[in-house]
Amino acid sequence: MERKTVRFQVKSINEDTGVFEGTATVFSFKPDPDGDIIDHGAFNKTLKEGGKRVKILFDANPVSDNSPNVQELIGRPLKMAEEKKGLFIKGKLSLGVPRVEEALSLMRDDAITEISIGFDAIKALIIGSTRHLKEIRLRDIALVPPTTSSGEAVQREKGAGKAPELGAGDFEEKEAEARIEALLEKIRNL
């Protein structure tokens, strides 16, 4: 399982019911520090399955080199959908669970600005040094409180190296070159 930490914007929250709505910014045309791009449509299979196996966690101590990862189950998604910039999440936090009150307070105060997503990469296309995630199986969504945020845009449990940063023009040119080379290779193999 892989894990990425992404920006999260809470749009609404009902502290009486534990229901919240927000958007996780997961789509970009620029590779993240791991060299990945999550493509539009990557969540389709999870969404078609209704996201029933996806859980909402409280990330009490995200992945780091010197401490164990402690995540606590605090709820479940009620609805998820792909939007232009990311994944819309309507979730229900289980009132009475110890960390839920803390999570609701942090969301109310706009202190939770990131979530981490746990997923399995099902289909990917590698173009140059960029891995395009075409289909992923979403396993969990973890709220990341500010005191435990690593400050990194992305974390991957298996610890892959950092890909070189590319500007928008560089990426388009490198992607075009890689696609042309892949097509030429297919023609040579005919």
**121 DSSP β-pair partners:** 136
pLDDT in tens, the chain (190 residues): 899 989 999 999 999 999 999 999 889 889 988 899 999 999 998 898 877 889 999 975 554 445 455 678 999 999 999 998 899 999 999 999 988 999 999 999 999 999 999 999 999 999 999 999 999 999 999 998 875 444 443 333 433 333 333 344 444 556 666 677 776 677 777 7
* pLDDT of amino acid 52: 82
Is the distance from CB of 132 to CB of 125 less than 8 angstroms? yes
Structural domain total, the chain: 1
pLDDT value, residue 176: 64
Task: Give me the numbers of helices (H) and strands (E) for the chain, helices first please.
Answer: 3, 8
Range of the domain at 112: 2-188
Q: If 0-12 CB within 10 Å is exposed, 13-18 middle and 19+ buried, where does residue 190 land?
A: exposed
What was the pLDDT predicted at 70?
64
